[in-house]
Amino acid sequence: MDKTYNPKSVEEKIYQMWESGNYFSPRKTRGKLPFSIVLPPPNANADLHLGHAMYVIEDIMIRYHRMKGDPSLWLPGADHAGFETQYVFEKQLVKEGKNRFDYPREELYQMIWDFVQKNRGTMENQLRRLGFSLDWSRNTFTLDPNIVEIVYKTFKKLYDDGLVYRGTRLVNYCTRDGTGFSDLEVKYVERNDPLYYMKYGPFTIATARPETKFRDTALAVNPKDKRYKDAIGKTYDITGLLGPVKMTVIPDPHVDPAFGTGIMKVTPAHDPHDFELGQKFNLPVTPIINFRGRMDFSWFLAKKDVDPKYRARAEIYHGKKVAEARALMVEDLKKDGLLVKVDEQYIHRIGTCYKCGTIIEPLPMEQWFVKVKPLADASIEAIKKKKLSFVPKRFEKRAIQWLTDFHDWNISRQIVWGIRIPAWKCLDCKEWTVTAGSTPTTCSKCKNNHIEQDTDTFDTWFSSGQWPFATLRVAQGKPSDFRSNDFDYFYPTSVMETGYDILPWWVCRMIMLGIYATGDVPFHTVYLHGLVRDSKGQKMSKSRGNVINPLKMIDQYGADSLRMSLVYGTASGNDQSLSEDKIRGMRNFANKVWNIGRFIMSDTNKFKGTETKNNEVRKKVATLVKTVTKKIDSYQFGQAAQWLYEFTWHTFADSYIEDYKKGEISYAILFNSFIALLKLLHPFMPFVTEAIWSHLPQKTNEPLIISHW
């Protein structure tokens, strides 16, 4: 053995040995229950970050169960990450002075495909560098044809069961990125905006959005508000910037009498609550903002016999961005004596695009929606019946709350990159024909052949929400004893391990779609880890300059050091602070393990003394094995790592080796204790332990990765 442990000289060779030896593929064993994890698929468009390095928890579980002799499958894959990937690719196009509109759909799709395939290979090699023992023979991509086929079948089944519908509703639309989002993808931020009080006929209303007043269709008051009780049901002439309009006062128990003046304008085309109110009172849905985020007064300019003053204003407002138009309107409100006052200290929450930060515009749009309640109710029932459990336990309540609060899910995305929705609209009867992926030649309703496919793609979460059962239902790679029935053998999977921040985005949706499509939960246990923050507990970001690059850390300190630093001292569901000092400290620990191995291999004296402490050592090692096993079985990986660290450094190195030198422990006891320690450490630090194992005598020829726990 070399004097010092050099990760760079051994890690790649060891991983190649594992992979070429097919040690990552599950081995069917009579009488053994399978253990399976489906890797949360990383986005195929970029390098790994520290969040992906937390897959180490999954690798610990897989290596542990593999060593126990359980048929253990860790199934890898990559996510096409529809909007995320197209967003990244478009940024690249902008740098080249181009944009997505410069290319036909098919050409743009192929360009993004080539971009993704290049980056996907890099990402997968980075997973290898972290030592993750994934069964690469089953590697899957969300755009693989057989995965797409399953996604199509699920969509068709939902449609046939009345759980998918096409409807015009308000969607969360990003005017910069040109697509709608689900409720979960809206990032709410607190802002201080002016609150404008303006005359509305005999009333005064308060609003932060005067620009939408041109499409107000009613006024709303709380029916218990005595100030406006007599006004309910009456219609009033409202003087506005573009002339008078008539508006009726309607009751709405959700109006807060204490906000503003207690009377609210109703704009069904630009506010989700107002939209629902409009449905109840049959109010028209007429937008004033278009999908480019600009004011649209074409409806007014198309009128005849309009007062020239009002036409001139509409022409000025038309085509302006919202913020610019708002400023112009406020000045005109002042000129007309309609602005009563402005409260400059109005603090409220507004929805923004989670990716680019643009203010989200609620806009009416015809989209495909999943009727969530039946799916959510079945998921809540499964959780309450303990068909799946959460670690930590507190997330069970949060999952139920999310599932209870879910609204119908908009699964249409106005992007090119992704799985195109298999629905065709008839240009004659306007009905939709939905298939399980096949291309129809005629309309299913009127049988005419004037049909066009929807240009939208599925929300990425719709396809990735089917990941556990979809990946196990496909047959790829090299044949194996039970490849053809992977689904029957490994589903439901054992554990879904991921960050708590995507509990509603992904975990809840996997539960809903898994139960719906298969009749069973997609996994038995949900393990949620916390976020990795910097040494001061702050979120890592490029703007702060506090990002730790996992690949750089591996280059400097080795994969084992990074892996151990992410696990040691951490608890499930809790955020952790990570510093380079901690990683460096774990590099020192890896060196300590190596040096113990060197000592045991290099010692030729084999002292034969009184050996008075042999039984004591046996008992302590047995206790260590029992404790670490119990900690892993109960998902307490941080505590298991601490036990191993403390025992290795302060018991084995500081005590047992010294007792051996004094003749109080036999060489056989010391050697066998070290063998046990290597096995316990292997799931946490696979490279250094495998490297040491390869030098040890008196063992089978099998590598440590498949040695018996």
* Nearest one of 611, 598, 591, 590 to 656, comparing CA atoms: 611
Rounded CA separation 163/227 (Å): 44
Task: Provide the 8-state DSSP code for 539.
Answer: B
Strand partners, 82: none
CATH number of 180-353: 3.90.740.10
Look-up: residue for tokens 């050592």? 617
Q: Which residues contact 254 (CB under 8 A, 6 or more apart)?
A: 222, 273
pLDDT tops 50 at residue 212:
yes
pLDDT tops 60 at residue 502:
yes
How many distinct helices (H) and strands (E) make up the chain?
24, 25
Q: Which residues contact 188 (CB under 8 A, 6 or more apart)?
A: 349, 350, 351, 352
Helix (H) or strand (E) holding 36: strand 35-38
Rounded CA separation 669/46 (Å): 49
pLDDT tops 60 at residue 206:
yes
Rounded CA separation 274/260 (Å): 17
The total of other beta-carbon atoms located within 10 Å of residue 707's CB is: 18
| Better-scored residue on pLDDT, 89 or 476 | 89
pLDDT value at position 696? 87
Rounded to whole angstroms, the maximal C-alpha distance in the chain is 113
Task: Provide the 8-state DSSP code for 294.
Answer: B
What is the separation of C-alpha 660 from the centre of its chain, rounded to a whole number of angstroms?
52
pLDDT value at position 602? 85
Confidence class of residue 3 from pLDDT cuts 50, 70 and 90? confident
pLDDT tops 60 at residue 481:
no
Taking only Cα atoms into account, the Rg of the chain, rounded to an integer number of angstroms, comes to 31
Average pLDDT over residues 535-550: 79
pLDDT, tens digit, for every residue of 371-426? 999 999 999 999 999 999 999 999 999 999 999 999 999 999 999 999 999 999 99
Residue 418 corresponds to which tokens in the numbers above?
């992704």
pLDDT, tens digit, for every residue of 221-250? 999 999 999 999 999 999 889 999 999 999
| 281 class by beta-carbon count within 10 Å (0-12 exposed, 13-18 middle, 19+ buried) | middle
Residue pair 680/64 in contact by the 8 Å Cβ criterion: no
Rounded CA separation 527/265 (Å): 46
Confidence class of residue 1 from pLDDT cuts 50, 70 and 90? confident
pLDDT, tens digit, for every residue of 244-272? 999 999 999 999 999 999 999 999 999 99
pLDDT tops 80 at residue 542:
no
Q: Dihedral angle at the C-alpha atoms of 212, 213, 215, 219, nearest 10 degrees?
A: 120
Look-up: residue for tokens 């002016």? 194
Strand partners, 576: 532
Say whether 522 sits in a helix, a strand or coil: coil
pLDDT, tens digit, for every residue of 62-76? 999 999 999 999 999
pLDDT value at position 605? 65
Q: Dihedral angle at the C-alpha atoms of 56, 57, 59, 64, nearest 10 degrees?
A: 140
Confidence class of residue 476 from pLDDT cuts 50, 70 and 90? very low
Domain edges within the chain: 180-353, 550-706
- In this structure, of 163-172, 347-356, 545-554, the range with the lowest mean pLDDT score is 545-554
- For the chain, the residue count is 709
Query: The sheet that has 389-391: what strands, in order across it?
Result: 72-75, 35-38, 493-499, 523-529, 389-391
Confidence class of residue 183 from pLDDT cuts 50, 70 and 90? confident
pLDDT, tens digit, for every residue of 664-675? 999 999 999 999
* Nearest one of 646, 641, 652 to 676, comparing CA atoms: 652
Amino acid (one-letter) located at 298:
S
For the packed helices 7-20 and 550-557, what is the interaxial angle rounded to 10 degrees?
Answer: 110
Q: How far is CA 639 from CA 525, 534, 572, in A?
A: 19, 21, 10
Rounded CA separation 401/399 (Å): 5
pLDDT tops 80 at residue 28:
no
| 232 class by beta-carbon count within 10 Å (0-12 exposed, 13-18 middle, 19+ buried) | middle
Look-up: residue for tokens 């004094």? 662
Average pLDDT over residues 334-346: 95
* Nearest one of 31, 34, 24 to 133, comparing CA atoms: 24
Residues 376-390 as b or e (16 or more Cβ within 10 Å = b): bebbbebbeeebbeb
pLDDT value at position 543? 65
Rounded CA separation 651/676 (Å): 14
- In this structure, of 295-299, 444-448, 472-476, 527-531, the range with the lowest mean pLDDT score is 472-476
Average pLDDT over residues 507-521: 97
Instruction: Kindly state the percentage of the chain with pLDDT values over 90.
Output: 87
Query: Mean pLDDT over all residues of the chain?
Result: 93
- Give, in degrees to the nearest 5, the angle at Cα 41 between 40 and 43: 130
Task: Provide the 8-state DSSP code for 223.
Answer: T
Rounded CA separation 252/271 (Å): 14
pLDDT value at position 700? 62
Confidence class of residue 477 from pLDDT cuts 50, 70 and 90? very low
Amino acid (one-letter) located at 352:
T
Which CATH class for the 550-706 domain?
Answer: mainly alpha
- In this structure, of 196-205, 207-216, 305-314, 541-550, the range with the lowest mean pLDDT score is 541-550
- Single pTM value for the model: 0.92
pLDDT tops 90 at residue 596:
yes
Say whether 411 sits in a helix, a strand or coil: coil
Average pLDDT over residues 584-604: 93
Amino acid (one-letter) located at 680:
L
Average pLDDT over residues 122-131: 94
Instruction: Kindly state the percentage of the chain with pLDDT values over 70.
Output: 97
pLDDT value at position 132? 98
Rounded CA separation 360/531 (Å): 26
